[in-house]
Structure 1
Amino acid sequence: MSGCLKPVEYKRGNPKSGDWDKIQLCAQAMCLEEMRGIHIDEGALWYGQTRHRESVLFDETLRRRTLTVIDEVRQLLQSGDTPPPHYGKHCQSCSLADECQPKLMQKDKSAAYVAALYQEAEDA
């Protein structure tokens, strides 16, 4: 039973420069494969802003990258650490930018301030 399902991920915005949308779609396909005991060859991304659909082949390279990201996220969750946000161009198209507020972290100088206090105490 190969190629019966073709997952489609609907995005409100524009296509992104990185592979994150493809990785998300591939992960969804891999879940469907595991649940249904089938192989899925491709899916599609549909972008609302451009009203454009992009076909995505689930080749070995994308599948390996997806598994790597899944492993990295698993390690991150197990560590209990929350990584700091890194503001960049990619933030402009992120649906979580308001919650993450990566620009605020650019202005956060508290760690340097505290380190300087300890340095002053050591120097005295």
Structure 2
Amino acid sequence: MSQLSYPQPEGVAAGNGYSHVVTGPGRWVAIAGQVALDAAGEIVGAGDPEAQARQVFANLDACLSAAGASFADVVKLNFYVTDIGVLPAVRVVRDQYVDTANPPASTAVQVVALFRPELVLEVEAYAVVAG
């Protein structure tokens, strides 16, 4: 069971789909930015932001699991997109993984490019695992 807390800072407008602050006791886990590459290193969903997001979140899930964590432990997600217009498709997938009542803190940034031109999304995660 997660021991995370989601305080609402006074004087800051509530986030829409994210929390401003997430805190909790435990072990810190940092997950490197994940892109839409499958286990063989092949791009999944070239030209399809939602398909790329599904692969990215599957990769994040696998990384969290390897660290003894889950999305319930995630306190922060950083999104890097080549077109801010893909965020609605990304959010559809994100919401299948995170607790939408208590979502992690998040940042979304549009970047000029990722390391492969077919990629439109990279997401890194930070988690705190109780115990």
Q: Same fold by TM (over 0.5)? A: no
The structure with the largest helix share of the pair is 1
Which protein is bigger by CA-based radius of gyration? 1
The structure with the largest strand share of the pair is 2
TM-score in terms of structure 1 length: 0.29
TM-score in terms of structure 2 length: 0.28
